[in-house]
Amino acid sequence: MNKRIEERVREEAAFALSTNMTIREISKHFKVSKSTTHKDLKERLLEIDATMYNKVKDIFEDHIKVRHIRGGQSTKLKYLNMKK
C-alpha cells in the first residue's frame, strides 16, 4: 500500500476516534470522497491496524443504530426553519 494512503487512513481513523464523527463529516474534513473514506476505514484500516479498526467499527455501528433518529431530527429542523 502506498505510504501516503496509509498515513491518510491512520489520520482518518484517529480523527474518527477522537471526534466520533460520521463518515460524511470525516470525508469533508479530509477533502476526499465518502466512498474513499468508507473504503479507507472499512477495508484498508483492517490491513493496517486491526485494533484501531475494531474501535472505529464500533463507532460506526453506533451511528447506524441512531441514524433514523438523526434523520428525523434533521427533517424536523428543516420544516421548522421553513415556517420562519
- List pLDDT tens digits, range 6-38: 999 999 999 999 999 999 999 999 999 999 999
Q: What is the pLDDT of residue 43?
A: 96
Say if pTM beats, i.e. exceeds, 0.85: no
| pLDDT band (50, 70, 90) for residue 1 | confident
Query: What are the cell numbers at 81?
Result: 426553519
Dihedral Cα 46, 18, 31, 68, nearest 10 deg: 80
Burial 53-72 (b: 16+ CB within 10 A, else e): beebeebeeeeeeeeeeeee
